[in-house]
Structure 1
């Protein structure tokens, strides 16, 4: 594994790795199968599935010349054709997650006779399903299939149906908890799938901005949810069912419609995109060569799973996500309750006040992505690093949490602290972007993503449990735990940045001594970042 090699030793091991890679890529170019006469060398042909799907178009793609103007037009086309649907789906799935927060002050707790810490378990139940799916089923199901978007569409339609079931006439607390678990199972697929889709079309230096945009749609979800809830509360006596139930039905129906759109419009990979002509498909292949990754591979490779488990970055992502998501699990489920009980706003005012955090996230996440791109073009290195903006946002969130926790006699300062917290999603987006760009090898990428989302789910299960009923209405213990978590996040991101910088410098030195790996179509051999000496980690 390249990451563990020093520049002064292990050259014979590197030679062996390079020889195996060269053999793998050369074999993939053979049209006819042949016996493996190479002893311990691995024979792989194109049909065996060991190489990336993009290898099928790699040679033909190399024959075309793409001008900068053509590339810009293609990027605009991808952004305009694919992104609106992706962004809207992400906004809706966030509404699904946090709808219980609005429903809680619309009568949910009273109608289901909740008491003590029962509402905390409503928030945690969703993530039990999310956790289960990302412990293995998501990777096995979606890596094996060659119809990722069709399967994703079925999951989206399923969670829409589950949401509608939240409004069942005789639903009780136990049934509601069961539905939240099932909803978590269905929604557990969307973030890893969107991360993979982003890596299929956009270059590594473009992925952060795109993820900032679709993840930032969480803010749009907050705005849409609170606006709907506000309107429903104002006219609550006009409906034949409680307003909170109608909220779930509306979101569910929208979700089902979006699932149908995904089935029709989002391609399984770029080679199957109905909105791209043949030349544009080859242009996509050519432009993502710089990622040292392709469209994907459908064999689950044990050695890549092991490599993912041994990669220090995997566990940096894991523990960072634990720390950043414990506060998230609490805030997303208790924000409306805090505004209602701790800050003293009425139900309708609490819903209106909830629009402000949504606007902050909707604007800030894409803004930091754009700023990163801008400074990258201006060659201002430190401000072009995604992790720089992640650290900045984590520091601001830490300050905000300190204001919320310790400015006890200053309501305005505490409220400002709540709103500053909504800059933290940009920090988590950076980790998603790092996984998308820096975990090479399709099995490894899925594995690292799944491990990260296991941390995400587990922490969101724990988060609501920090809000202990006997500490209501100010929940001082939960606020202190958030301060500790964000202090750790800042330190973890600094370590990750320095770790990647040092690794890139080591690879530069090693390549200077040995020369680059000059192997035809090596980018599409489904190599991991450890195997591919040409790979550099995005900062």
Structure 2
């Protein structure tokens, strides 16, 4: 790069590149930088592979199928189990939990809030641990401890129950961000949205299994050795322990340590990562990337979106069974059965969402569609008189995670630099916690059984979510155009293997944001 070009380049992009840029000699390019000890773990494999090598389409499709058959099913089952664990409290609420633990007034609301309080407090420590220690082993440890703690719910009094719910929130805080990192390691950027949608869809399967299990136990309550709601927690805990052990056995810490991929397939992973302009991770915490995450406007648009989307989620997640029983007039058994179609709506709706997503180039449009459907559902719950119309509204709410799926995929594909990615993911999930903390508190005992004010709050925050989505699109689109202009003016030189230098999306100006 000539002296004039270099000066112009630095003048145009100094507000874009931050942190470790001073360690990069622009005149000599990135190869010297790539020898740093804080480069991505995939660097050694990348340096052994010709930069001109192209992806073979047939081999690439076979690799995707292999990952879909080995990695994805384990992730999907774990996600189903963790949602089953969360919804177990909603089922237990109509099976005698509140009576046996002497819950009165707003004591049950705090059962939901305490879970997300633990999630909130431990989200960033969990993200730090996932970066600092081997990814799969750390996730497996969280899962096994989660399962053990869940089984202890069966012997707790109210104070112990609240303490256990708080610890469970701490344990679950690792799952979503860990799965974002795993998805980014294995899949093309254009595949990450659909795969994220597929594993989140298994929340619905968890709800179906949980509802059917709770119904079966409630029908045989008199013949059970202990209360049915206690068995719900024990069964869910044992399932989670089993899946934690399975996760430990099957899932490697990164693709290059896997036993199920051969050398040619690992080379394909490198080529995918090059195409994604991202690596598989780095165990070193980089403070400048942490600061960049905190000062990036995208982070806070996503945070506000997360809070707004999850205030309704927190309320419905905790009070769905109570609403069905109280507002819609069903008995205990029918209340549990009416939860099954909700799980089916979520499972089928989000699978369809994932199948459609590769054909819709604008992710914010997809997120907006699912949020509008959820808004219609919340309006039916708030303003429709007939119980069946309210129940239909509740079922429509089950596609609301579509917007969250888009944001998960945005973290996977649009945030680069491992410390920055884990930080942005943690902040988004902290917003998820804040929303879910607030949600149950909008359901006040004096508003029972209809809880109309809480339902109106849901309508308002779905509207706020719809404002944040185009805002994120605008910021990313404007930045892509700015970088394209730099390329057209000849102010950027391509550097081989820059994607494995663990640069952030702001540092690596060859990076483009998925819209």
* Inter-partner Cα distance in structure 2 for 1:187 and 1:74: 30
Determine if the alignment matches structure 1 residue 166 to structure 2 residue 172: no
The Cα shift of 1:503 comes to: 1.8
Query: Corresponding residue for 2:39?
Result: 51
Query: Corresponding residue for 1:494?
Result: 470
Aligned residue for 1:529, secondary structure, equals coil
Tell me, yes or no, if the aligned pair for 1:327 and 1:482 is still in contact at 8 Å: yes
Query: Corresponding residue for 2:5?
Result: none
Query: Corresponding residue for 2:24?
Result: 20
The Cα shift of 1:139 comes to: 2.5
Tell me, yes or no, if the aligned pair for 1:400 and 1:421 is still in contact at 8 Å: yes
The Cα shift of 1:384 comes to: 2.3
Query: Corresponding residue for 1:422?
Result: 398
* Inter-partner Cα distance in structure 1 for 2:54 and 2:470: 40
Deviations 1:309-337 (A, max 9, x none): 11111000100000001110000110000
Aligned residue for 2:261, secondary structure, equals coil
* Inter-partner Cα distance in structure 1 for 2:208 and 2:151: 21
Tell me, yes or no, if the aligned pair for 1:148 and 1:268 is still in contact at 8 Å: yes
* Inter-partner Cα distance in structure 2 for 1:12 and 1:260: 48
The Cα shift of 1:517 comes to: 3.2
* Inter-partner Cα distance in structure 1 for 2:421 and 2:493: 22
Among 352, 370, 382, which residue is 1:405 paired with?
382
Q: How does 1:84-233 map to 2 (within 5 A)?
A: 84-134=73-123, 136-145=124-133, 147-168=134-155, 171-233=156-218
Tell me, yes or no, if the aligned pair for 2:17 and 2:506 is still in contact at 8 Å: no
Gaps of 5+ in 2: 1-7
Closer/same/farther in 2, CA of residues 56 and 175 from structure 1, 3 Å limit: same
Tell me, yes or no, if the aligned pair for 2:302 and 2:407 is still in contact at 8 Å: yes
* Inter-partner Cα distance in structure 2 for 1:177 and 1:110: 15
Tell me, yes or no, if the aligned pair for 1:517 and 1:533 is still in contact at 8 Å: no
TM-score of the aligned structures, taking structure 1 as reference length: 0.90
The Cα shift of 1:405 comes to: 0.5
Tell me, yes or no, if the aligned pair for 1:439 and 1:529 is still in contact at 8 Å: yes
Query: Corresponding residue for 1:352?
Result: 337
Tell me, yes or no, if the aligned pair for 2:9 and 2:492 is still in contact at 8 Å: no
* Inter-partner Cα distance in structure 2 for 1:506 and 1:369: 30
Among 324, 328, 331, which residue is 1:339 paired with?
324
* Inter-partner Cα distance in structure 1 for 2:200 and 2:246: 19
Query: Corresponding residue for 1:39?
Result: none
Deviations 1:143-167 (A, max 9, x none): 111x211121111000100111011
The Cα shift of 1:519 comes to: 0.9
Q: 498-507 or 223-232, which moves further after superposition? A: 498-507
* Inter-partner Cα distance in structure 1 for 2:12 and 2:231: 65
The Cα shift of 1:65 comes to: 4.7
* Inter-partner Cα distance in structure 1 for 2:315 and 2:348: 23
Query: Corresponding residue for 1:481?
Result: 457
* Inter-partner Cα distance in structure 2 for 1:79 and 1:148: 19
Aligned residue for 1:167, secondary structure, equals helix
Closer/same/farther in 2, CA of residues 21 and 72 from structure 1, 3 Å limit: farther
Q: How does 1:42-81 map to 2 (within 5 A)?
A: 45-46=35-36, 48=37, 50-62=38-50, 65-81=54-70
The Cα shift of 1:19 comes to: 8.2
Determine if the alignment matches structure 1 residue 466 to structure 2 residue 442: yes
The Cα shift of 1:9 comes to: 8.4
Q: How does 1:483-522 map to 2 (within 5 A)?
A: 483-514=459-490, 516-522=492-498
Gaps of 5+ in 1: 1-6, 30-44, 376-382
Runs of 4+ in structure 1 off by over 6 angstroms are: none
The Cα shift of 1:21 comes to: 6.3
* Inter-partner Cα distance in structure 1 for 2:371 and 2:265: 39
Query: Corresponding residue for 1:260?
Result: 245
* Inter-partner Cα distance in structure 2 for 1:9 and 1:488: 38
* Inter-partner Cα distance in structure 2 for 1:501 and 1:412: 43
Determine if the alignment matches structure 1 residue 387 to structure 2 residue 364: yes
Aligned residue for 2:30, secondary structure, equals helix
Tell me, yes or no, if the aligned pair for 2:251 and 2:258 is still in contact at 8 Å: yes
The Cα shift of 1:12 comes to: 7.4
Closer/same/farther in 2, CA of residues 24 and 515 from structure 1, 3 Å limit: closer
* Inter-partner Cα distance in structure 2 for 1:138 and 1:256: 19
Deviations 1:444-490 (A, max 9, x none): 00110111111111211111000000100000110010000000111
Query: Corresponding residue for 2:314?
Result: 329
The Cα shift of 1:18 comes to: 9.0
Query: Corresponding residue for 2:298?
Result: 313
Tell me, yes or no, if the aligned pair for 1:62 and 1:286 is still in contact at 8 Å: no
* Inter-partner Cα distance in structure 1 for 2:449 and 2:189: 45
* Inter-partner Cα distance in structure 2 for 1:91 and 1:450: 21
* Inter-partner Cα distance in structure 1 for 2:413 and 2:158: 42
Aligned residue for 1:457, secondary structure, equals helix
The Cα shift of 1:416 comes to: 1.5
* Inter-partner Cα distance in structure 1 for 2:227 and 2:128: 40
Question: How many residues end up aligned between the 2 structures?
Answer: 503
* Inter-partner Cα distance in structure 2 for 1:208 and 1:371: 10
